[in-house]
Amino acid sequence: MRKHFSAALFAATLGFLGCSRGDPPSYHGAGVSESVAPLPPPVPRDASSTDAAADVVDAGTTDPGTLPQTEDKPRAEGTVFDARVQALWEAIVNDDPDRAMPFFFPKTAYAQVKAIVNPESDWKYRLVAAYKRDIHAAHVKLGRQATEARFVAFDVPEERAKWVDPGEEGNKLGYFRVYGTKLRYEIDGQPRTLDVTSLISWRGEWYIVHLSSFK
């Protein structure tokens, strides 16, 4: 069954706020964040949208990447997932990639997953650098109407999700992976789509590992 996060659910919750098929050559860039925000705790149902947003941003919880992987299948729903999707959309609209880092696969988890030398460097200089470039490119795609763009849905084709066994793709640990997610939005009532290449799981949560392409 296809899961999607609707615009109505955005308004009701938080307001504004892998790996690859084959690893391509490393990209050595600069100005890339060293870490991602830890997994936020569930937000109380009676919290206001402002309080909920503050809880997500400010929660000082354990970094999920320091914990063991599980075989829990992720679901594209819930307060934390919704907040991450909203953070990605806000990052694109405002051309501010750092806002979208809570939705990116954690560095500490990547270090556990990848059977390569210095996975932290690969995470920073290749994956995160590409993620930030892709967010900037998505903002450019919105053009001068970026502030008028309206989020519609984040469709994750969860029926296509598959478990990737350890030993595949140069990995030490397994995870769920799904290709073909669509971020849907409108400008002047005209539907538009941004392809999200690859999501992978950590401890039953979806994270982006490649936004627009395998780089």
The candidate with the shortest Cα–Cα distance to 84, out of 64, 111, 112, 69, is 64
Q: What is the pLDDT of residue 120?
A: 97
54 falls in which pLDDT band (50, 70, 90)? very low
The model's pTM = 0.73
Alpha-carbon distance of 87 to 77, in angstroms, equals: 15
Q: What is the pLDDT of residue 4?
A: 53
Pick the more confident residue, 15 or 144: 144
To 10 degrees, what angle do helices 49-58 and 79-94 make?
A: 90
Lowest mean pLDDT among 5-19, 123-137, 200-214: 5-19
Q: What is the pLDDT of residue 147?
A: 87
Quote the percentage of the chain above a pLDDT of 90.
66
Mean pLDDT of 106-113: 97
Q: What is the pLDDT of residue 16?
A: 38
8 A C-beta contact, residue 186 and residue 127: no
Q: What is the pLDDT of residue 101?
A: 97
Which token pair is 116? 């390569």
Q: Is the dihedral of CA 110, 30, 181, 5 positive or negative?
A: positive
8 A C-beta contact, residue 90 and residue 16: yes
Q: What is the pLDDT of residue 36?
A: 43
Q: What is the pLDDT of residue 2?
A: 52
145 falls in which pLDDT band (50, 70, 90)? confident
Residue 211, classed as helix, strand or coil, is coil
Q: What is the pLDDT of residue 62?
A: 82
8 A C-beta contact, residue 13 and residue 52: yes
Helix, strand, coil percent content, the chain, rounded in steps of 5: 40, 25, 40
Mean pLDDT of 147-170: 95
Q: What is the pLDDT of residue 170?
A: 87
Cβ neighbours for 18, distance < 8 A, ≥ 6 positions apart: 105, 169, 175, 177, 198, 199, 200, 209, 210
